[in-house]
């Protein structure tokens, strides 16, 4: 009897699992990849792609169809649509297609890889929806960056530091760039905080500490046409462009609540040491949808490898193996196009040139090719 593996999400996690399984051409097994975004999107470079002229759309986006076309046609199917309901008991997922009709997909093995989105819907840091919507968000942000004289970046985590760094590098002498940090250190006070603040200062980025944004609203009077940022305490700041970078929300709305972590909004899916969803035999998850130990590229890659292995084992009637994380925890932030800050295990500082060479120079754009030709897996 032929078997179906359904993979939900066509990004770093989902496409990796698809390649790993399709390369094996497992007998009588079909892989169905479901993705809201018809393209693979290299979101890690979005921070630089908002600077006009730096990165082309083709460097950032490649069709998933191209990635899968290298495998025999009967072994795969690509479904562009959004998972809208999962029934782990009946072993089916409901997919809402672009024309708003639905399609039920029965599965033998299911991989949840729908990632996490930014809590600010108009930002391009993570794919906000379809390919067209993601492209529009990116182009719109780039156009607003060009036209703004004063830009406020809210949130001084890695994305905020990188966005402020790119803006400072390009516009530090001509536009005013302000980074809002809720605490008294950037990067949550981690070991790279002081280095990051120093690098940003060199790029003429002003960091405003202890800044808790209460709301933003359209400016009036002198601030007509601007956005007014209101801080708790009542202080206001008018800006041409407000770019929030805070908050990640796992895309888990289609999963029954009992399989999700506690919380109101940001609820990752629960997994055991095999990256299997507890109380299921055949549902697996990897990447930002799990966000454990944190949401990160290297963690996502390792998890995708483990999930592909465990799905393959399950198809053969074998037991799963415990998932392994990366050998060390690396966090690296580009700060502009020439420098960067990073740390290994929160103890070892990475020199600026090392971060630049490993990440900042290209923002790892050459990796896109490996996800399209399958060599990543
Ligand atoms: C600006 C930025 C820079 C980063 N830089 C680094 C870095 O230097 N190092 C590092 O380790 N990590 C970095 N990260 C984190 C890294 O981007 C994530 O860990 C990675 O993208 C996770 O991949 P994923 O496939 O799990 O999920 P995602 O990338 O979130 O992809 C999920 C996919 O699923 C699709 N989808 C969502 N909902 C549905 C649905 N219901 N049905 C079907 N499809 C759906 C989405 O459209 C998307 O294509 C960075 C993140 C950002 C935002
Ligand atoms: C699908 O539904 C959404 C919201 O319900 C709507 O905005 C959109 O226009 C619909 N699309 C089509 C093709 O009918
Ligand atoms: C920093 O920015 C201000 C404008 O906000 C500008 O006058 C100044 O020349 C800049 N300094 C450097 C070193 O780029
Ligand atoms: C990082 O920490 C892990 C354990 O958490 C350890 O095995 C590894 O050797 C450490 N690496 C470095 C370079 O400190």
* Exposed / middle / buried, residue 246 (Cβ in 10 Å: 0-12, 13-18, 19+): middle
Determine if ligand 3 sits within 6 Å of the CB of residue 176: yes
The answer, yes or no, to whether residue 67 has pLDDT greater than 70, is yes
For residues 145 and 113, membership in a common domain is answered with no
134 CB near ligand 1 (under 6 Å):
no
Complete DSSP assignment for 187-255: GGG-TTHHHHHHHHHHTTEEEETT--EEEEEE--GGGTTSEEEEETTS-EEEESEEEE---EEES-TTS
**Helix then strand then coil, % of the chain, to nearest 5:** 30, 30, 40
Distance 103 CA to ligand 2 centre (A): 16
Answer yes or no: is 29 within a domain: yes
Is 8 near ligand 1, meaning CB less than 6 Å away?
yes
Each residue's pLDDT tens digit, 188-244: 999 999 999 999 999 999 999 999 999 999 999 989 999 999 999 999 999 999 999
Ligand 4 binding pocket, CB closer than 6 Å: 328, 344-345, 348
Rounded Cα–Cα distance for residues 309 and 306 (Å)? 5
- Residue 358 is given by DSSP the state I
CATH of the domain at 87: 3.50.50.60
In this prediction, residue 367 carries a pLDDT of 97
**Is the same domain home to 90 and 150?**
no
Are 207 and 261 within one domain? no
Residue 349 in any domain: the answer is: no
Atom of ligand 4 nearest to the CA of 328: 1
d(CA 37, CA 127): 8
pLDDT, residue 263, reads: 86
pLDDT of residue 128: 87
Last residue of a domain, one of 245, 273, 292: 245
- The protein residue with its alpha carbon nearest to ligand 4, atom 4, reads 328
- The verdict on the CB of residue 118 being under 6 Å from ligand 1 is no
Please tell me the total count of domains within the chain: 2
- Could you identify the atom of ligand 2 that is nearest to the CA of residue 99? 13
pLDDT at 350 (0 to 100)? 95
Question: What is the whole-number distance in angstroms between the Cα of residue 200 and the centre of ligand 3?
Answer: 13
Is the beta carbon of 99 within 6 A of some atom in ligand 2? Answer: yes
Q: Is residue 335 included in any domain, yes or no?
A: no
pLDDT digits over 328-367, tens only? 999 999 999 999 999 999 889 999 999 999 999 999 999 9
Q: Count the helices and strands in the chain (H runs, E runs).
A: 10, 22
Check whether residue 90 and residue 149 sit in a common domain: no
- Which ligand has the shortest distance to the CA of 173? 3
Is there a single domain that holds both residue 139 and residue 283?
A: no
Identify whether 375 is part of a domain. Answer: no
Residues 143, 238 share a domain: yes
8 Å CB contact between 170 and 327: no
Ligand 2, atom 8: closest residue by C-alpha: 100
Residue 363 inside a domain? The answer is no
> Which ligand lies nearest to the CA atom of residue 250 in the structure?
1
Q: What is the spatial distance between Cα 352 and Cα 332, in angstroms, rounded to a whole number?
A: 10
Q: In the prediction, which pLDDT does 49 show?
A: 98
Do 138 and 89 fall within a single domain?
no
Confidence of residue 1 (pLDDT cuts 50, 70, 90): low
Could you tell me if residue 85 is inside a domain?
yes
Q: Are residues 215 and 266 in the same domain?
A: no
Q: Whose CA is nearest to atom 1 of ligand 2?
A: 100
Q: Which of 228, 245, 262 is the last residue of a domain?
A: 245
Cα(148) to centroid(ligand 1), Å: 28
Domain membership flag for residue 72: no
Query: Packing angle between helix 12-24 and helix 297-315, nearest 10 degrees?
Result: 40
Per the prediction, the chain carries an average pLDDT of 97
Residue 56 falls within a domain, yes or no?
Answer: no
Tell me how far the alpha carbon of residue 61 lies from the centroid of ligand 2, in angstroms. 24
Helix 193-202 / helix 158-171 crossing angle, nearest 10 deg? 20
Q: Residue 188 Cα, ligand 1 centroid: separation in angstroms?
A: 21
Q: What is the mean pLDDT of residues 13-21?
A: 98
Question: Measured between alpha carbons, how far is 266 from 49 in angstroms, rounded to an integer?
Answer: 27
206 lines ligand 3 (CB under 6 A): no
Residues 237 and 182 in one domain: yes
CA–centroid distance, 349 to ligand 4, in Å, is 13
Give the count of alpha carbons within 13 A of 222, CB side only.
4
CA dihedral 311, 314, 316, 317 (to 10 degrees): 180
* Number of neighbours of residue 208 by Cβ within 10 angstroms: 17
Domain membership of residue 187 as a residue range: 131-245
| 112 and 88 together in one domain | yes
- Same domain? For 276 and 207 the reply is no
Q: Are residues 174 and 219 in the same domain?
A: yes
> How large is the average pLDDT for residues 72-89?
98
User: Which of residues 189, 217, 245 is at a domain's end?
Assistant: 245
């Amino acid at each position: 009897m032929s078997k179906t593996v359904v993979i939900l999400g066509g990004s770093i996690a989902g496409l990796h699992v698809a390649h790993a399984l399709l390369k094996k051409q497992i007998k009588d097994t079909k892989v169905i990849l479901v993705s809201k975004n018809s393209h693979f999107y290299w979101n890690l470079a979005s921070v630089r792609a908002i600077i006009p002229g730096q990165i082309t759309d083709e460097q950032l986006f490649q069709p998933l169809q191209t990635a899968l076309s290298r495998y025999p046609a009967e072994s795969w199917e690509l479904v562009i649509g959004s998972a809208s309901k999962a029934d782990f008991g009946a072993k089916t997922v409901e997919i809402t297609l672009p024309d708003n009709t639905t399609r039920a997909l029965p599965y033998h093995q299911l991989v949840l890889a729908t990632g996490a989105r930014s809590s600010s819907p108009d930002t391009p840091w993570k794919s906000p929806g379809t390919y067209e919507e993601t492209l529009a968000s990116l182009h719109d942000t780039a156009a607003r960056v060009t036209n703004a004289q004063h830009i406020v970046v809210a949130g001084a985590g890695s994305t905020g530091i990188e966005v402020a760094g790119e803006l400072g590098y390009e516009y530090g002498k001509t536009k005013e760039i302000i980074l809002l940090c809720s605490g008294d250190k950037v990067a949550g006070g981690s070991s790279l905080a002081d280095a990051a603040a120093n690098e940003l200062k060199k790029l003429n980025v002003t960091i405003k500490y202890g800044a808790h944004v209460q709301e933003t609203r359209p400016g009036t009077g002198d601030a007509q046409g601007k956005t007014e940022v209101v801080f708790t305490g009542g202080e206001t700041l008018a800006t041409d462009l407000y770019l929030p970078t805070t908050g990640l929300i796992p895309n888990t709305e289609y999963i029954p609540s009992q399989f999700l972590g506690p919380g109101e909004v940001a609820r990752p899916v629960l997994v055991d040491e095999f990256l299997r969803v507890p109380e299921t035999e055949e549902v697996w998850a990897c990447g930002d949808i799990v966000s454990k130990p944190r949401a990160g590229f290297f963690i996502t890659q390792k998890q995708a490898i483990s999930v592909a292995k465990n799905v393959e084992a399950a198809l053969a009637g074998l037991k799963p193996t415990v998932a392994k994380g990366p050998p060390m925890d690396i966090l690296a932030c580009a700060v502009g196009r020439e420098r960067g800050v990073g740390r290994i295990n929160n103890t070892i500082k990475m020199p600026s040139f090392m971060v630049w060479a490993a990440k900042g120079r290209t923002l790892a754009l050459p990796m896109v090719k490996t996800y399209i030709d399958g060599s990543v897996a």
